[in-house]
Structures are given as C-alpha cells and as structure tokens.
Amino acid sequence: MATDYYGVLGLSRGASDADIKKAYRRLARDLHPDVNPDPEAKERFQEVSRAYQALTDPDKRRIVDLGGDPFDAGAGAAGGSPFGAGAGFGGLGDIMDAFFGGGAMGGRGPRSRVRAGDDALIRLELDLEQTVFGTTEEITVDTAVLCGTCSGAGTAPGTHPVTCSTCSGRGEVQSVQRSFLGQVVSSRPCPTCAGTGQVIPDPCPECGSEGRVRARRTIPVKVPAGVEDGMRIRLTGRGEVGPGGGPAGDLYVEIRERPHEVFTRDGEDLHCHVTLPMTAAALGTTLPLTLLDGEDTDVDVRPGTQSGTVLTLRGKGAPRLRATGRGNLQVHVDVQTPTRLDAEQEKLLRELAALRGEDQRQPAAEGHGGLFSRVRNPFR
C-alpha cells in the first residue's frame, strides 16, 4: 500500500504549503540525527524527509493525492541518505528553504517603503426614521492622510533618499553560522534601513519620514434605505494612508440605531402597540394612526377584537435593502379594562352582564350555565 505522507507529517489531505513546511520544521528539529541519536528517530527523520519532498513537489503530490507513491518508480531509495540527490529530499537548498523561508543565500531584495494603509472603523448613531428611509450624514474622522509637504516621499524639500551603507541597498544582511550542516548562511532585514535599502538623511519636518500625518476631516456618508442596527457601510480608500504615502485602507461606518418611542423593528417589519378601551374593542372602531414616515392612515378594528390581536398593514414597513418593496407594519392591540367605575357605569355593566347571562351575582339556572359554571364545567 502507498505510504500516507500526509499522516507522516501529522496533516490531513488538502493541507496548505505553509502547513506542510511548518510541520516539517517542527519534526526535523526533534528527529535530526545530530539532535536525537536514537536509531528510531533517524528512521523517523528519513520518513519525514521523504514525506516533505513528496508533498512539496507538485508532480509528486499529485501522485500522492491519486493514491499512489511517487517513489515507486525509482525516484529515490527508501532508507537512503536524506540529503542525497534522489533519496527523498531535495538537497541542501530545500532544507534551508524549510528552515529559513529561502535559499541558503537569501536574495529576497529590499522591500518598498510604500505599504498599504490600515482600515478604519467609526460608529454612527441614527434615528429609526433615518435607517428605514435612508439619509446622508457627515462624519468626522481622525486618520492618517498623505503628507502635504513631501507628498509621501518622507524627505525634506529638495532632498532625496540615499542608498543604505550597511546593506549596500540590498535591504538585508547575511550572517554565517556553523551547524550540523556545516556553514549556514542566513539573511535578515537590515537593521539600519529596516529592509528598504535606503535611508533618509533629511526627514520631512512635517511627517518625520513617515509620508503621512494625522488629520481630522469631514466625510459625507450616504446611508441607504433599509439598513439595520450593526450593519457596516464600506467607504473604499477613506481609511488610513499607508507608510510612505501608500494607498489608503477602507473606512467602515457601523450603524447604531437609536430606540424609537413608538415603533420597534424586526428586519423589514415594523411593530407598534395601540391601547383600546373595552367598549371600542367590543363594538369595533376606526383607529387613526400616524406612520413612521408621517403619513396618517386609518386602522379598522373589527367588533370583538381581543387583546393581543395583531393587525397587519402591508407595505407600511421598512424598505427591503437588497430587493424591491417594503415590509409590513404589525399593529398589536392591547384592550384596556376599566379599573374605576362610577355608580351609573357599574349599573350599566351589570345590566349588560345580566343580558348576556354573565351576571356574577346570580346563580346559574337549572340547565343553564353562567360565566363561572362554564369555567367550572367546561365539558358539560
């Protein structure tokens, strides 16, 4: 059966190149013969080396993913030296690449002083009317902007960057160390120029060679109709300008919706509560209602409406953010029972209760259940 090279490195199929390299580095440090003299560790190191070669070579990895073994065709002998030309490892250059991220002699070159800026986030509080129907607001942000004195160059007027004398413009310096591999040449960013290959002898007096300064500015934000609490609006290129005058990141405006005294919101639907007297709910009525947009409308309440009934006004809710049309307005009816009655009102209610057979003071007639008899004997 073909060797499970993913399992040898402790990885699952589909692992990225970075994961493969990271796993090999971890195992090689523990299993190399110069570090671990155990014979089993030596054999394990050879297996790990073969797995690394199989999974870092695109052609060999394709064979592994198809269920085969790329070394069955004689590409290398099992158990051979892990540093040989065909013994399951790509040679000294590959192990240097695994440990240092590049060849033995480096060669990455200087990096640019110009880098992209970071994104910025600001929160904007709006009323319910503004989030539902949209608005345009001006916000004040404090971010890094392009330096107006040097236009991002970072140098004083009339001066220019010069080549770094420490790295001769390469952006990196090399050091030689002795290890079990012999002399190993490693590279690191130049500490003088921070890897850019240039230094600025006369920095800009405004930005101090950064190419950017902090400034407060006002930006208009168009809030589309239908946005909800917590949503973010992206303003491309309105964030932080990068070092060296690099391109600005994005500005994200996070919406915070203030509570409304009448209406609440659930997605595209609006909700409100209305309180009706008991008589209006029993007899029915027409209820005038002012909508969120200021429009006046009438809500028909049918006779016998119970407390907790929800009346739906279609198309009177919030606009749909990514579609056409609007949601609904849900009107929740709360029926109010009177708590204080004068003598005349109490008399009238008792007469009504008697007419409806609901007079609490009179016992139920034989065979006729009153209000409480129906409660006591619901199945009679």
Mention every residue, 6+ apart, whose C-beta is less than 8 A from residue 159: 200, 201, 202
Structure tokens at 28: 């090689």
207 belongs to an annotated ligand binding site:
yes
The CA distance from 373 to 371, in Å, is 6
Contact status, residue 289 vs residue 296, Cβ threshold 8 Å: yes
272 belongs to an annotated ligand binding site:
no
164 belongs to an annotated ligand binding site:
yes
Torsion of CA 146, 149, 150, 154, to 10 degrees: -80
State how beta strands 329-336 and 269-277 pair: parallel
Contact status, residue 357 vs residue 368, Cβ threshold 8 Å: yes
Count of Cβ atoms closer than 10 Å to residue 126 Cβ? 18
| DSSP code per residue over 7-54 | HHTT--TT--HHHHHHHHHHHHHHH-TTT---HHHHHHHHHHHHHHHH
Instruction: Pick out the residues of the known binding site.
Output: 147, 150, 164, 167, 190, 193, 204, 207
Instruction: Pick out the residues of the known binding site for Zn(2+).
Output: 147, 150, 164, 167, 190, 193, 204, 207
